[in-house]
Amino acid sequence: MLLLTPVLVAIVCILMVWIFKNADGSSDRKKGEPRAEAHPWVDKDLKDSTDVHQEEAEADEWQESEDEVEHIPFSHNRYPEKEMVKRSQEFYELLNKRRSVRFISNEQVPMEVIDNVIKAAGTAPSGAHTEPWTFVVVKDPDVKHKIREIIEEEEEINYLKRMGPRWVTDLKKFRTNWIKEYLDTAPVLILIFKQVHGFAANGKKKIHYYNEISVSIACGILVAALQNAGLVTVTTTPLNCGPRLRVLLNRPTNEKLLMLLPVGYPSKDATVPNLARKTLDQIMVTV
């Protein structure tokens, strides 16, 4: 009966409640976390700059923006109404011919055109004019092949294990799989990195507001610029490959891969899925 002293009872009770509460805590965590079928790597891959906003709490690390900038009169190119309608119609028709092309020939493209389309992308608006983008243009065949190896390795796991049957079914109509020949054949790969924060001249961090949205807007302009120049591409988001590609390309840790665009001319036998776009009344509501 010595065993049932108040002290021992106390110890046993403390242990039991401790274990119970810990079990409780871990099941709580499970509720918050994506479930097994929920593809946590997608969520992780998609994770954007929100954590950077949180870091803002470390006030000393962050640099405030410089003083006020002069404001100047805005000069505008105005066209007659008829010309506006014509220009907007022609722009739509040009872009409506764009398709995501996965069969790209190995023919070289003029590098001046690549410079120009990236300059065009760089005119995109960005949160507080932070311009949080880096465009890595890969022409070197060995580096392209290393990129292909990394992506195919990860994509095979994506298709077979990570994506789940629904995603694989949803992709079926594109006839895509983890073999990405265009990563070797396309004369140029453009890897677009978002800078989740920047650096001021004094080395302190600069907040990049809405960096993922800003860089995606720049990619939209890039896609339009490529179409305008007569080149083809396909917007890809290599799932789970970001960190390895970042290291391969020697990009700093504040840069995260957002998209990869293989760029070139279509190969002679290029095909595309016979998909239609939504009509204007399916995407626009007027109030």
Binders in 214-273 for its own copies, by CB under 8 A = 216-225, 228-232, 234-235, 237, 249, 258-259, 265-266, 269-273
Owner of token pair 């079926």: 172
Alpha-carbon gap, residue 204 to 99, rounded angstroms: 42
Binding mask 111-130 for its own copies (x = CB under 8 A): -xx-xxxxxx-xxxx-xxx-
**For residues 146-175, which are near its own copies according to CB under 8 A?**
164, 166-167, 169-175
179 lines the binding site for its own copies (CB under 8 A): no
**CA dist., res. 189 & res. 99, Å (int):** 17
Crossing angle between the packed helical segments 81-96 and 211-229, to the nearest 10 degrees: 90
Is residue 203 near its own copies by the rule CB under 8 A?
no
- State which of residues 70, 201, 203, 253 lies at the interface with its own copies (CB under 8 A): 70
Structure tokens, 87: 């220009």
Interface pick for its own copies out of 26, 74, 202, 253 (rule CB under 8 A): 74
Pull the structure tokens for residue 34: 């994506």
Stretch that binds its own copies, among 149-157, 179-187, 206-214 (CB under 8 A): 206-214
The residues facing 134 across adjacent strands are: 193
User: Which one of residues 101, 150, 196, 260 is an interface residue with its own copies (CB under 8 A)?
Assistant: 101
Please pick, from the candidates 30, 61, 84, 204, the single residue that binds its own copies as defined by CB under 8 A. Answer: 84
Length of the chain: 287
How many CB atoms lie under 10 A from the CB of residue 2? Answer: 5
Q: Which of 79, 106, 160, 247 touches its own copies (CB under 8 A)? A: 79
Binding of its own copies at residue 103 (CB under 8 A)?
A: yes
The binder of its own copies chosen from 23, 72, 158, 264 (CB under 8 A): 72
Is residue 10 close enough to count as binding its own copies by CB under 8 A? yes
Q: Are 150 and 123 in contact (CB under 8 A)?
A: no
In the bound complex, what is the minimum distance in angstroms from residue 274's beta carbon to its own copies? 4
Contact set for its own copies, span 28-47 (CB under 8 A): 28, 34-39, 42-43, 46-47
- Residues 159, 177 contacting (CB under 8 angstroms): yes
Closer to its own copies by CB, 152 or 190: give it: 190
Are 217 and 223 a contacting pair, CB within 8 Å? Answer: no
Total number of residues that touch its own copies (CB under 8 A): 146
d(CA 19, CA 13) in angstroms, rounded, equals 10
Q: How far apart are CA 170 and CA 109, in angstroms?
A: 33
